[in-house]
Amino acid sequence: MANDTAQNDVFLRDLWYFGIVGDEVKPGQMVQKERLGELILFGRTHEGEAFAMTDICPHRAILLSGGEMVKGETGTEVQCPYHGWRFRPDGQCAFIPSLTADQTEAMDISKIKAKTYRVHESYGIVWIWFGYDHDAEPCLPPPTLDIPRDSKVRMYEECDFHCDMDAAVISLMDPAHIPYIHNQSWWRTPKTMHEKQKTFGPIDRGFSMLPHKPSSNSFIYKLFGKDITTEIQLELPGLRPEYMKAGDKHVTTVTIVTPVSANKTIISIILYWNHAAVSLVPKWLIRRAIHVFMKQDSTAVDSQAIGLSYDPPQMFIHDSDIPAKWYLALRRNWEKHRKEGADFVNPLKENKTLRWRS
């Protein structure tokens, strides 16, 4: 789905999005991903620098990801598989093999450019900037997590949701579905439902379920001892870090919602920890648990997407649907702020306690 213009699209912009996990491309490698309806080639130069450019060759549109990365005269160059044109990581054309020397000079091939994207690598993630004006400098610094910037990704899993970005984000902030969709007996069931009360506070472009003792009915948390606190944040566009901390030990689960296209969204789950007890848990077990949860959510939102395609009204009730309303307001307000210059308003002005049963 070609989409070079940001004007009429459904995606929120002027934000950093998840690109890839850095480990997906070693030096001299590249990989194709679709993000916000654009086909993007993420690569890493032989020197180790991450970059992103369009995967569509400016010559005649074959996918550059079918080509190779070579060490050319200018350094790392992406070589198109069709006619061998080469592009530098900054998009500039470096070589057109079919041209004779005098033709190369006459043509000034450096004027030929592949579209490139700004990227930033931190926390083992390559973030990619999508702006309303593609050429403008980012108006925000790259995302910040409450862990060291050079933290190593311990585990990465992803899942496709066949729904739009909003339905995916809302599903992650929705406490009332947990006993129904995630009703495995070792976790939670409608029978273990009880009243909860959580305090939320505003953060930049989002909100936080402020640090609290985790629910007594979630036995996984018990692994970490009595002093454990957990905090879950949500920040635009779809960054949802969950920090479990006990003393100086942490287990951080960063869930990121990224639109692939208008009707497809990926959920990335990235785990970091420095807690020795977690390293003892077999990775396949953690992976399996993540897959069980993600499959349950994807089955729910895929089914919901069918319902939503008939354009029904939706209801948001107190208090369990309030985080969904905050997200929708954040989204609206960000768009207004960036497109119309209005002040950005966080719908959550001060700490607020919500109550529900789950």
Residues near Fe ion (CB under 5 A) are: 297
Q: Which of 6, 31, 39, 62 binds ligand FES (CB under 6 A)?
A: 62
93 binds ligand FES (CB under 6 A): no
Closest C-alpha among 155, 193, 349, 156 to residue 267: 156
Q: Which of 12, 20, 30, 57 binds ligand FES (CB under 6 A)?
A: 57
95 binds ligand FES (CB under 6 A): no
Residues 144-151: contacts with CB under 8 Å, at least 24 apart:
145/241, 145/252, 145/254, 146/241, 146/243, 146/252, 147/123, 147/250, 147/252, 147/272, 149/122, 149/123, 150/123, 151/123, 151/124, 151/252, 151/272
59 binds ligand FES (CB under 6 A): yes
In total, the chain counts a number of residues equal to 358
The answer to whether 270 and 159 have CB atoms below 8 angstroms apart is no
- Rounded to an integer, what distance in angstroms lies between the CA atom of residue 129 and that of residue 137? 9
Selection from Fe ion, ligand FES, none that 297 binds (CB < 5 to 8 A by kind) is Fe ion
Residue closer to ligand FES by CB (options 62, 281) is 62
- Check residue 23 and report its DSSP letter: G
Task: Centre a 10 Å sphere on the Cβ of residue 18 and count the other Cβ atoms it contains.
Answer: 24
Selection from Fe ion, ligand FES, none that 60 binds (CB < 5 to 8 A by kind) is ligand FES
Q: What is the DSSP string of 268-327?
A: EEEEEE--HHHHHS-HHHHHHHHHHHHHHHHHHHHHHHHHHTT-------TTTTHHHHHH
Residue 85 CB, nearest approach to ligand FES (Å): 4
107 binds ligand FES (CB under 6 A): no
Residue closer to Fe ion by CB (options 131, 175) is 175
Q: Which of 41, 69, 80, 294 binds ligand FES (CB under 6 A)?
A: 80
User: Which range touches ligand FES (CB under 6 A), out of 78-86, 234-242, 248-256, 307-315?
Assistant: 78-86
Residue 303 CB, nearest approach to Fe ion (Å): 13
User: Contact letters (x/-) for ligand FES, 311-350, by CB under 6 A?
Assistant: ----------------------------------------
Q: Which of 16, 85, 161, 200 binds ligand FES (CB under 6 A)?
A: 85
